[in-house]
Amino acid sequence: MGNVNKKLMSMISLEGKVAIVTGAASGIGLATAKLLSDAGARMVLIDINEAGGVEVAEGINSSGGKAKFFLCDVTSDSDCKSITKAIYEEFGKIDILFNNAGVIRRKNVLDLEEEEWDLIIDVNLKSIYLLSRQVIPIMIKGKGGSIINTGSGWGIKGGPDAVAYCAAKGGVVNMTRAMAIDHGKQGIRVNCVCPGDIDTPLLRGEAEQLGVDEAEFMKEAADRPLNRVGEPLDVAKTVLYLASDLSSWVTGVSLIVDGGGIA
């Protein structure tokens, strides 16, 4: 039994790996950063929320992990270039990239302003392109890596009053497939995690955007086969699977993590 456990732990371990998490100051990013650190990875945390990001890094370091926060606007090409250069100079490699930064506006196409459309597409979709194009050459030098993109259940099917978000996340799902095809021969796996409703500040903020009672909104969000709203850790565990050797022959996949919401 001991040998089985050692083999299992070696497959799930991220010891010696360097992992980037965007949107790391809260929600899914925060939970994932902590879990990947627990698995042994050295963590690089990226967010536009400097105070929150620094706090997460300090928490990981005080718990015995290793984490460093970098202030970065992932919609800025120059920011992505300079941050990736700084990360490579400090750590010498990048093994895992979790493209997780996201934003939502609950509006239909008639009510959505052009600048809101641009913001949602840029943060949720364009940022993956901007950061991946800097990180992939480093992964190629290191003979491989794992990229995980945050999609959504609404990247698989449509949803009400979220037209730009649905468009962006649908793009993430198919972009993931294309990246997996392009870079598999270089040893880089590219996958997508598609959460349903997860109890994060982003989800609770939707209630305010829609002008509805938050408690009632969260109650409706729990109406799914597993009868609860997801927790950030539910998604983080899936990211750990996709980042580790447990998924060594998995690429181009969009894994739905939604308690059965779109079953």
For the segment 204-228, the average pLDDT, to the nearest whole number, is 96
Q: What is the pLDDT of residues 6-44, one digit of tens each?
A: 888 889 999 999 999 999 999 999 999 999 999 999 999
In whole angstroms, give the CA distance from residue 195 to residue 124.
14
HSE-up of 37 (CA within 13 Å, CB side)?
24
The phi, psi pair for 46, rounded to 5°, reads: -125, 135
pLDDT at residue 165 above 70?
A: yes
Q: What is the pLDDT of residues 60-114, one digit of tens each?
A: 999 999 999 999 999 999 999 999 999 999 999 999 999 999 999 999 999 999 9
- pLDDT at res. 231: 98
In whole angstroms, give the CA distance from residue 21 to residue 97.
6
Residue appearing with tokens 């970098």: 70
- pLDDT at res. 4: 66
State the pLDDT confidence band at 137, using cuts at 50, 70 and 90: very high
For the chain, domains (ranges, CATH) are: 2-254 (3.40.50.720)
pLDDT at residue 242 above 80?
A: yes
Q: pTM value?
A: 0.96
For the segment 203-211, the average pLDDT, to the nearest whole number, is 95
- pLDDT at res. 6: 85
State the pLDDT confidence band at 2, using cuts at 50, 70 and 90: low
In whole angstroms, give the CA distance from residue 242 to residue 21.
14
- pLDDT at res. 224: 97
In whole angstroms, give the CA distance from residue 130 to residue 36.
23
State the pLDDT confidence band at 45, using cuts at 50, 70 and 90: very high
Which of the residues are catalytic? Answer: 165
Counting residues of the chain whose pLDDT is more than 70, the rounded percentage is 98
- pLDDT at res. 133: 98
pLDDT at residue 155 above 70?
A: yes
In whole angstroms, give the CA distance from residue 247 to residue 140.
19
The token duo for 238 is: 């899936």
- pLDDT at res. 139: 98
For the segment 156-173, the average pLDDT, to the nearest whole number, is 97
Report the 10 Å Cβ neighbour count for 8: 11
* Chain mean pLDDT for the chain: 97
3-state secondary structure the chain: CHHHHHHHHHHHCCCCCEEEEECCCCHHHHHHHHHHHHCCCEEEEEECCHHHHHHHHHHHHHCCCEEEEEECCCCCHHHHHHHHHHHHHHHCCCCEEEECCCCCCCCCCCCCCHHHHHHHHHHHHHHHHHHHHHHHHHHHHCCCEEEEEECCHHHCCCCCCCHHHHHHHHHHHHHHHHHHHHHHHHCEEEEEEEECCECCHHHHHHHHHHCCCHHHHHHHHCCCCCCCCECHHHHHHHHHHHHCHHHCCCCCCEEEECCCCCC
For the segment 232-243, the average pLDDT, to the nearest whole number, is 98
